[in-house]
Structure 1
């Protein structure tokens, strides 16, 4: 079933909201300094305060959504479902990354080789989907 643009907007909004709620839900369990960036080996190399760590990615998701909406309005794809699918897939990807960052900061083991592999699979999927739908 192909998503329409308004359904994609709703789905994207829900994903942003759930991502924000995830950070709020685990607020009391997070450390004062939250790791937000990791080397390829999984070693944290950038920390921010807990409030920034909880709000940063949902805010980036909202900004990314607005940029995507503007870009697709300026240069729409031939098939409107492509814009909807790319938008929702991007919001889901960013939400998943936020979930993994929260999990790591809560002490759960995060297999970074799988994260990198999953990121590559996501990118290939988006490119293949967009090219086939065009």
Structure 2
């Protein structure tokens, strides 16, 4: 008859059940690489889309491209065709990198982890916003009837809706004002998030107003948003 397994057999089984340090490090690095790829997915896709738009329409674009418009939706600033066609795609990557790099200045690991969890949404939203701006500029210069005020209202409204959902989950930054205790900060963030969310729908609705009314009402809504935010912040500081 064979010898019965001794205590060392049980220790061997338990040892085999424990993940090796190298395996844990490998799994952690794999997850980290996947997260980094996820952060860059939409910025890279937006950049590629913007470049393809410019390449396919380049020969049809005028020598001078209108890139800025006044309150009456009339162009008031132009750049050369190469700059107008390819500056925006480069700016998508640069802005995305700046946003991702800025989080490294946060020394609190828990706050940095919370901020990094929202990075794909933030840089994705910014990238899509810049892609929409680029597409509308190209379309206008191709002769399509594009109202810059309507495009701006849609884009700002969309950004407000996305950031309004994200704001309660973002950590309190070192340079953020007002500086509040954690429970007060959460209350203020929830209020500001709701305010941004509903303001976003108002901005989108402004896109359907005639051009002569859209810009003044846009400024009025933006002023009200800033004023309400400041009043709420001052009140929160006084009661903290």
TM-score (norm 2): 0.51
**1-side partners of 2:115 and 2:95: how far apart?**
21
Quick check: which one's helix share is greater?
Answer: 2
Residue 125 of structure 1: aligned partner: 161
Does 58-67 or 69-78 show the bigger shift?
Answer: 69-78
**Shift, 1:79, TM fit:** 5.0
Higher relative contact order (CA 8 A, sep 6+): 1
* Shift of residue 118, structure 1, vs aligned partner: 0.9
Q: Which residue of 2 aligns with 1:61?
A: 92
Whole-Å separation in 2 of the counterparts to 1:68 and 1:57: 16
Counterpart secondary structure, 2:78: strand
Change (3 A) 1:126 1:28: same
Q: 1:5 to 1:44 in 2, by over 3 A?
A: same
**Structure whose CA Rg is larger:** 2
- Larger CA deviation: 33-42 vs 21-30: 33-42
Runs of 4+ in 1 over 4 A off after TM superposition: none
1:73 matched to 2:104? The reply is yes
Partner of 1:41: 72
Cα shift readout 1:57-110 (whole Å, capped 9, x = no counterpart): 111112101101101233336253311100001000000100000000000011
Structure 2 gaps, min length 5: 1-34, 107-111, 171-240
Task: Supply the distance in 1 between the matched residues of 2:142 and 2:40 (Cα, whole angstroms).
Answer: 31
Query: 2-side partners of 1:16 and 1:90: how far apart?
Result: 12
Tell me the TM-score normalised to structure 1 length: 0.88
